[in-house]
Amino acid sequence: MEVVKTITEVRSLVKSAREQGKTIGLVPTMGALHVGHISLIERSVRDGCFTVVSIFVNPTQFTPGEDFEKYPRSLNTDLKICKDNKVDLVFVPTAEEVYGKEMLTWVNVEKLTEPLCGKFRPGHFRGVTTICAKLFNIVIPDVAYFGQKDAQQAIVIKKMVADLNMPLEIIACPTVREPNGLAVSSRNQYLSPDERKDAACLYNALQRCEQMAKSGITHTPQLIAEMRKIIEAAPTVKQIDYIEIVDTHSLQPLEKITDKALLALAVKIGATRLIDNILIDTTS
């Protein structure tokens, strides 16, 4: 496994791999790797890719007041995880290497970045799409792997790739969960034992909503009220940013579930903001 810090090195190593006829798979991460990231790496390796993992805590996707400074960083552990999981190349750039002296160019996806987390994290998705555009141009992967846990992010990136005709495929992989249902996230490290226990309420609420919808209760205000009740019952829940039931393509709120829907929520448990979601289909 190679570990490199510069764009030039990445390009040269990827070029060699491509000349050997290999397909290039990219797993973009902010480090603090966990079983969710490992599932993406495993998928890339299983797909037979020359697997590139980028580790970069991207400052432009944090909004002022968020946890950029204290975001968990654990490079040595991350590199061990990469090596154990057969990663071929790890790209660990500095912010200077990525953004240079004066960054003036931004990629923005309209509409899809406005609801859900877009309302609460202004500029976040612009930071995400821009860093992904850069990483795609640096690594030039055939496939990039993202977690379905960040559902809106996956949808926004797929739209960017389609709209700008970027020559790669985006694969969104299933959310990995802890035994109590909590979606695995680097930010789960922030939770106290009580908070982690309470955080199970998020997936419980999503599952309850799916059950109800499949049993024929399709009017979304009623479903949302039920999810809210379940979540508010957890003692350490501090604030609900949103609980929404939206169209899986437009991300616009649905009044009624007729077939597919994305159930998505963002909730502060103690001081930690967690997101979760499930895709449901009441016809299947």
Residue 36 or 115 with smaller CB distance to a copy of itself? 115
Q: CA geometry: angle at 124 spanning 97 and 227, to 5°?
A: 140
Please say if 37 is a catalytic residue. yes
The owner of tokens 């802890």 is 178
Looking at the Cβ atoms of 12 and 211, the one nearer to a copy of itself is 12
Site for a copy of itself in 10-29 (CB under 8 A): 11
By CB under 8 A, which span of 20-28, 65-73, 98-106, 267-275 interacts with a copy of itself? Answer: 98-106
Closest CA to 199 of 211, 213, 210, 185: 185
Cβ neighbors of 7 (< 8 A, separation 6 or more) are 93, 97, 138
Q: Which of residues 49 and 131 has its CB atom nearest to a copy of itself in the complex?
A: 131
Minimum distance from residue 164 beta carbon to a copy of itself (Å): 5
Of 60-68, 137-145, 226-234, 272-280, the segment contacting a copy of itself by CB under 8 A is: 137-145
Residue 163 interacting with a copy of itself (CB under 8 A): yes
Which listed residue (29, 130, 153, 186) binds a copy of itself by CB under 8 A? 130
- Is position 107 an interface residue for a copy of itself (rule: CB under 8 A)? yes
Contacts 24+ apart (CB under 8 A), 108-114: 109/156, 109/159, 109/160, 109/163, 111/250, 111/251, 112/152, 112/155, 112/156, 112/159, 112/250, 112/251, 113/152, 113/156
**Shortest Å distance, C-beta 49 to a copy of itself:** 19
Closer residue to a copy of itself (CB): 46 or 111: 111
Q: Are strands 260-269 and 237-246 parallel, antiparallel or unpaired?
A: antiparallel
Residue 11 class from Cβ within 10 Å (0-12 exposed, 13-18 middle, 19+ buried)? middle
Active centre residues (catalytic): 37
Task: Return residues touching a copy of itself (CB under 8 A).
Answer: 7, 11, 100, 103-112, 129-130, 133-134, 137-138, 140, 159-160, 162-167
